[in-house]
Structure 1
Amino acid sequence: MKFIKDDFLWGGATAASQVEGAYNEGGKTLTLLEMKPFLPIKNRKAIHFGGQTKEEMLDSIENKQNLHYPKRFGIDFYHRYKEDIALFKEAGMNIYRMSIAWSRIFPNGDDEKPNEAGIDFYRNVFEECKKAGIKVMVTMHHFDTPYEITKKYGGWTNRKVIDLFVKYAKTLFEEFDDVVDFWLPFNEINVAIWSTEVGLGVFESDFKSKNERDQAAYQGLHHQFIAQAKVIELGKKMCKLKTKFGCMVANITTYALDCNPINEIENLKSQQISRWFFYDVVAKGEYPTYIKRYFTENNINIIMENDDEKVLKNNTVDFISFSYYMSATVAVQGKDKASGNVSTGGKNPFLEATEWGWQIDPIGLRVSLNQMWDRYQKPLFISENGIGVLENLDSNNTVKDDYRIDYLGKHFEQINEAIKDGIDVFGYTMWTPIDVVSASTNEMSKRYGMIYVDYDDYHNGTGNRFKKKSFNWFQNFMKTKEF
């Protein structure tokens, strides 16, 4: 089968905290993610965000327990980016979605001037991409609020952080407008609700009750909504006309477990609260009526300034990007649960799942694309999609990952079908082109890439890169557009 869109963008996505390493080089400071150790996994199908107390995370600054902190080392992209980008080019990628570490640009969060060493590093990375003929999509905040902002301001629950973030964005526009093609202010912005540490830089153990936590989470989320809108407003003034600004949401497509009306309405409500709310705010520019009812019934009061609603309405996104890994079912009294990248859902008896319990549903991607196109009529970009698997190099220094080839091919087929449906979907970046440290479990052994990185969970190994079978498959796909 041949892919029908010639100008489609194909590539891969990574996050600074999962690839860069060099946590104490070039003036960089720690983020909360780099304060979480690797702990042996007892249950891979559990949700792993969180788990450490504030005290344990603070102890990690000096590593008093002599634990291993994988995100401080990543895959050493900081020193090996030329090698990696050369591999991306060899694979045929024509777009690379990556993130900038805020703490490399403003190590103290509120520095008067940006850190030149950080700016130089990213300039070098972007220039390397341009030499390779690879477009660049940049995420400004990928789960890595600098710890200094947590310590001084309490993270995103403090409205002052909006101004700090806009100043950071202004610096990025000034320095990199000529080499960045697409900007995403926040990665999976809805994660703020599921993990305040990951999404907002706020310690979960600081909250005394669920209501206090929910109030803080939605208030911090509101501040990120306003920050994103202000960044888009600023970018439209500062950047070249062809630069586009998007959102990124963790897309959780669900189905009612059966046709029982009580499960249908439960699924509708679940989709509204866990999914549509976030898209509605950034794409339509307003808080929907259903979330206002939810706030009232759950005693959540969002504090807004006078012009907040106007800022949101006037600065919606140019395009919608989202992650899609799996689908789930919803029922009022569902029995079996399935894991996911940010939350749990019900099991679907028609789907297979990974070792981490993520249900594989390529058709659900086409469903998602149709739903979003019908609802928003904005260009769509799939910014994360992939499969994590336990893998080891074979005697030929490769991995015969036919399961990944099958996974990617079936998802590509559904993108093709969505384009035939008339949907404006313009690009796809797999998670991820190269093995990285897992965001949730801190594992290296949960491997997503078509390039193998020789590190184990404790970073034993050479760090050398090896092409998997999927690398050659993708390379051939980019030449022939046949899958």
Structure 2
Amino acid sequence: MNKKYIFPENFWWGSATSGPQSEGTFNKRHKSVFDYWYEVEPEAFFDKVGPEITSNFYNSYKEDLAMLKEIGLNSFRTSIQWTRLIKDLETGEPDEDGVRFYNDVIDETIKNGMIPVMNLHHFDLPVELYNKYGGWTSKHVVELFVKFAETAFKLFGDRVKYWTTFNEPMVVVEGQYLYEFHYPKLVDGEKAVQAMYNINLASAKAIKRFRELGCTEDGGKIGIVLNLTPAYPRSNNKDDLYASKVADTIFNYSFLDPAVKGEFPSLLINLLKEDNILWESTEEELQIIKDNTIDFLGVNYYQPRRVKAKESEIDNTKGWMPEKYFDYYDMPGKRMNPYRGWEIYPEAMYDIAINIRDNYNNIPWYISENGMGVEGEEKYIGEDGSIQDDYRIEFLEEHLQYLHKGIEEGSNCFGYHSWTPIDCWSWCNAYKNRYGYIAVDLATQKKTIKKSGTWIKEVSSNNGF
């Protein structure tokens, strides 16, 4: 007999996207770093597809949100674009069309019976703040972010009760300042470390503002969305274990600890001090981080990280890099998603759940992204004309089974969002890999529900499978 997986009452069955990946650039006030990068280097993007139209959500949000209702979703995360909402970046004064658009999206989401979850930063810093001030390496940009956040809270806080400050902030650090996959593609450990600190500070300052404005009095909650990529050691020998501990500390706990516990891991601080690369901070800032922890946590999980003790020579030509402390381990026999080049390891869902339960105050949390990107899905079209994405259903079910085990053992998880409701534009990958419950034909913008869309409707109505 098949086991039945039933989830807690009022569990969120939803899906996530972001402004820059779905809306298109219609009527935007400012260019983001991605808008600018596409202008100067279109060949960096798969098939040279840029962010101008994406999935046309700016124009089709009513129809799109109705489709999300049709597939049974009860919650929906997207982001408010700084570049769209704010007219004057220095004062935080809003743009009329931006206000109209986000008001409509929020009202329409609620009208369709879904809880709106609004995120404030999804890799889309206004490029002029990079050019003028150096982006996230600047404390002034931190202040401007707080002004933007305050404008959003005041305008929409009456209806939006779940807010997150940043999506995957570690990716900003990695992409812009370490591994060259986000504009400006620098390799600069010092800037990476300062940006890491400043984004933690920006998040805490926005949370402080949220509470000062009384947004919590009406049931408002604020959190952050982190991509947790658990580092698994090659073996249980002490050097491998230490390598995995350092990798976890740099890539996961550098944001998780300040967000939940209000302080940076001591191991991180010791390493950065030893390497003479610790960020610039003040006592007052550290106190703000300490006093303004999150109400809930969003976790994006896609793949694990496999590491081993450092065996290769340390390459100092690039300056400070996290790989000073470990090497990546190519584990034999691992399951792969061949399209994305990522390992499939659903067991990590359980490990994350238990780690949050035991080491992070069992804070309320939810899976804010999990999904499988596949190239060439059109070859799986069935007789009814819809994409038969059984591989996606299997992937999601497996991950949910391990998540369920963690919940059964007391982890305080209240929801599961896939990435993404409707195939969306994905940075340099553009539309190479599709993730949605709903397919989009880029030439016509016609949207059709995949088999997984029918599946999630059933899961949601049964609160399990």
TM-score, normalised to structure 2's length?
0.89
- For the Cα contact (< 8 Å) 1:96–1:137, is it kept in 2? yes
| Matches of 2:291 and 2:254, distance apart in 1 | 18
| Matches of 1:450 and 1:150, distance apart in 2 | 35
Q: 1:438–1:100: structure 2 CA closer, same or farther, 3 Å change rule?
A: same
Which of 131, 143, 163 is the matching residue for 2:123? 143
Which of 248, 270, 293 is the matching residue for 1:293? 270
> Counterpart amino acid of 2:212?
K
Q: Which consecutive aligned stretches of 4+ in structure 1 deviate over 4 angstroms post-superposition? A: 57-60, 197-203
| Matches of 1:292 and 1:197, distance apart in 2 | 19
> Counterpart amino acid of 1:121?
F
- Work out whether 1:248 is the aligned partner of 2:225: yes
Shift of 1:108: 5.2
| Matches of 2:178 and 2:89, distance apart in 1 | 17
Which of 15, 18, 21 is the matching residue for 2:21? 18
Shift of 1:248: 1.5
Which of 319, 325, 331 is the matching residue for 2:308? 331
Shift of 1:110: 2.1
Which of 359, 364, 367 is the matching residue for 2:351? 367
| Matches of 1:345 and 1:426, distance apart in 2 | 33
| Matches of 2:180 and 2:164, distance apart in 1 | 16
Give the corresponding residue for 2:374. Answer: 389
Give the corresponding residue for 1:233. Answer: 208
| Matches of 2:177 and 2:67, distance apart in 1 | 33
| Matches of 1:267 and 1:87, distance apart in 2 | 42
Deviation per CA, 1:235-257, whole angstroms, max 9, x where unpaired?
11221421111122111112111
User: What is the aligned-residue RMSD (CA, Å)?
Assistant: 2.6
Q: 1:201–1:466: structure 2 CA closer, same or farther, 3 Å change rule?
A: closer
Give the corresponding residue for 1:463. Answer: 445
Give the corresponding residue for 2:394. Answer: 406
| Matches of 1:425 and 1:200, distance apart in 2 | 34
- For the Cα contact (< 8 Å) 2:177–2:191, is it kept in 1? no
| Matches of 1:350 and 1:325, distance apart in 2 | 18
Which of 404, 411, 436 is the matching residue for 1:423? 411
Give the corresponding residue for 1:40. Answer: none
- Please give the secondary structure, in 2, of the residue aligned with 1:392: helix
- For the Cα contact (< 8 Å) 1:318–1:379, is it kept in 2? yes
Which of 164, 168, 176 is the matching residue for 1:184? 164
Shift of 1:270: 1.4
- For the Cα contact (< 8 Å) 1:247–1:282, is it kept in 2? yes
Give the corresponding residue for 2:337. Answer: 354
- Please give the secondary structure, in 1, of the residue aligned with 2:65: helix
- For the Cα contact (< 8 Å) 1:384–1:430, is it kept in 2? yes
> Counterpart amino acid of 2:400?
F
Shift of 1:296: 1.8
- Work out whether 1:171 is the aligned partner of 2:151: yes
28-37 or 124-133, larger mean C-alpha shift: 28-37
- For the Cα contact (< 8 Å) 1:35–1:69, is it kept in 2? no
- For the Cα contact (< 8 Å) 1:144–1:198, is it kept in 2? no
Which of 2, 7, 26 is the matching residue for 2:5? 2
> Counterpart amino acid of 1:453?
V
Q: 1:32–1:371: structure 2 CA closer, same or farther, 3 Å change rule?
A: same
Percentage identity across aligned positions? 31
| Matches of 2:65 and 2:273, distance apart in 1 | 49
Which of 444, 448, 460 is the matching residue for 1:478? 460
- Please give the secondary structure, in 2, of the residue aligned with 1:29: coil
Give the corresponding residue for 1:224. Answer: 199
| Matches of 1:397 and 1:197, distance apart in 2 | 44
Shift of 1:334: 7.8
Matched positions, count: 441
Within-5 A mapping of 1:81-120: 81-107=61-87, 109-111=89-91, 113-120=93-100
| Matches of 2:179 and 2:461, distance apart in 1 | 38
- Please give the secondary structure, in 2, of the residue aligned with 1:72: coil
105-114 or 306-315, larger mean C-alpha shift: 105-114
Q: 1:451–1:345: structure 2 CA closer, same or farther, 3 Å change rule?
A: farther
Deviation per CA, 1:434-470, whole angstroms, max 9, x where unpaired?
101123422x131000100002xxxxx1011011111
- Work out whether 1:446 is the aligned partner of 2:428: no
TM-score, normalised to structure 1's length?
0.86
- For the Cα contact (< 8 Å) 1:28–1:104, is it kept in 2? yes
Give the corresponding residue for 1:42. Answer: none
- For the Cα contact (< 8 Å) 1:193–1:214, is it kept in 2? no
| Matches of 1:15 and 1:198, distance apart in 2 | 24
> Counterpart amino acid of 2:302?
Y
Shift of 1:285: 0.8
Deviation per CA, 1:208-230, whole angstroms, max 9, x where unpaired?
xx5xx111121122221111111
Consecutive unaligned residues of structure 1, counting only runs of 5 or more, are 38-56, 336-342, 456-460
Shift of 1:200: 12
Shift of 1:347: 3.3
| Matches of 1:197 and 1:123, distance apart in 2 | 35
Q: 1:240–1:428: structure 2 CA closer, same or farther, 3 Å change rule?
A: same
Give the corresponding residue for 1:304. Answer: 281
